[in-house]
Structure 1
Amino acid sequence: MTQTLVAHAPSQDLGHAPLARTAPLQYVLRLADNALILGQRNAEWCGHGPALEEDIAMANISLDLIGQARLLYAHAGVLEGRLTGRARLEDEYAYWRGEREFRNWTLQELPHSGPLAGTAHADRDYAVTIMRNFLYGALMAELWPALADSRDAELAAIAAKSAKEARYHLHHAAGWVVRLGDGTDASHARMQRALDHLLPYMNECFAPDPVEEAAAAQGVAVLTAALRAPWEATVHATLEDATLQLPAPSAFVSTGKFGLHSEHMSYLLAEMQGLARAHPGAQW
């Protein structure tokens, strides 16, 4: 299929629309942005995986996530078209929005290195990648099945398909959490550092916010706070098998879902959007 990339300014009509009207669209875009940004991050291992099998596995997980994002962006375009009279294409959402317009959780955009490493050229740590995929996968393995009952029939269908992929993603990541956590002293220490670094970012996923609440009130969304108990059960059981210790609870709440991102997001978007922006109107 041939597709044309054209730069469009974000729709200005949504800024003054009541939240009750825009919440389903904003919620779908949040799901799409989460999948896209994590897919982009995981794809950075392509050709650099610690083993050939893992190189292929991580590429496949990335393709699953980007496939989810495409379905969600396509649906978002339909929802936006109903609100504004103009449906955006999936490429417009991915390549022609600025940093503040993305609504992914901050967890997704963090680099594969620890908190003390530099931004652009820090060494990747597979422990960080695996721990992030595990924490996110354990949540999505609960969220997608719950969204399969959404009143939005298209979102429900996307959720039903994505639930199968999420189960595989969780199985893959959990297996490595246990293997590395209960492995050598060095691998255990790296997994513990990754857990200590990443776990506080999960608070954002469970924090209530007006968009999620408004979409849930319409039967479109699911309140992630209601999924925290089963998520914790999965996480705690796996960490016990991995001989990893839960860090002390943190009050930190990141703000990516409000468009306020870490310093890492701009680097990620520059890499992801550079080709499309350098050749606007390109076709393939």
Structure 2
Amino acid sequence: MITTEPEADPFDAHRRLLFATAYRMLGTVSDAEDIVQDTWLAWNKADRSEVRHPKAYLVRTVTNLSLNRLTSARATREEYVGPWLPEPLLTAPDVAQERELAESVSTAMLVVLESLTPVERAVFVLREVFGYSHAEIAGFLDRPEPTVRQISHRARKHVAERRTVYDTDDAQREEVTARFLSACAGGDLNAVLELLAPDVTAWSDGGGKVSAARRPLYGADHVGRFLIGVIAKTARDAVDVLPVPTPAVINGELGILILAGDTPVGAITYDLEDGLMRNLRFQINPDKLAGLHRRDDRDTNR
């Protein structure tokens, strides 16, 4: 008697792709996971006999659900307390070695994508990150192909104008991260200042849930003193476990994960230019740290 293995469910086969698409569309781990779950529900209700191309059906579903979620989220973000930053996501170390993949999921890129309209963002992600043709995207979005081409051109131009390419030397990034951690641990303001670009900017996202700067901080002196002040306050306020910063690959780049015991309580990502740190982003909103717990089924690789 010959037995055959049951065919894998297309949803399970493409789950990582679906999460990767939704995360780049929304910039939030929790919303992306909700979208993937809603896509699963839609897939299970669908008449499979009518679905000729399951992958295309699933990507179309996750794209349109993400578009709806992103449109409604825009109004909510206008009332957000302090700077809004994307939710950080732990990524596998090998993602950082795939430069284009790492750049597409970097915090800096997600911030730039926030400046696109929802439809522009969908087209850009599908075309520039996942390589779908304009014709395929037109089918996903129920729009004429020439219209999609125009949207794609506009989105690509917009991103190019706002996107700065920074240093990507892994060894240098490891060295700077290690020096930064050492300087912060020792409360050494001068050592911190040596690592910051003179025109560095820092954003901190507490969402009104925890203490954070409500506006961006500019200049090495302001940012450095803020860092040392936050570390000192954290040490004074610690009751059970003192949070400890540690290097980690976050959104495709080496960054800093802050742990209280085994619990993530924050993340820092930054851009590197000429060996100096600029554009520091602190995510400490407790509602936006789910992506700092390792889970393989939400890898950003496709």
Q: TM-score range by the shorter chain?
A: under 0.3
Structure possessing the higher radius of gyration over alpha carbons: 2
TM-score, scaled relative to structure 2: 0.25
Say which structure is richer in strand.
Answer: 2
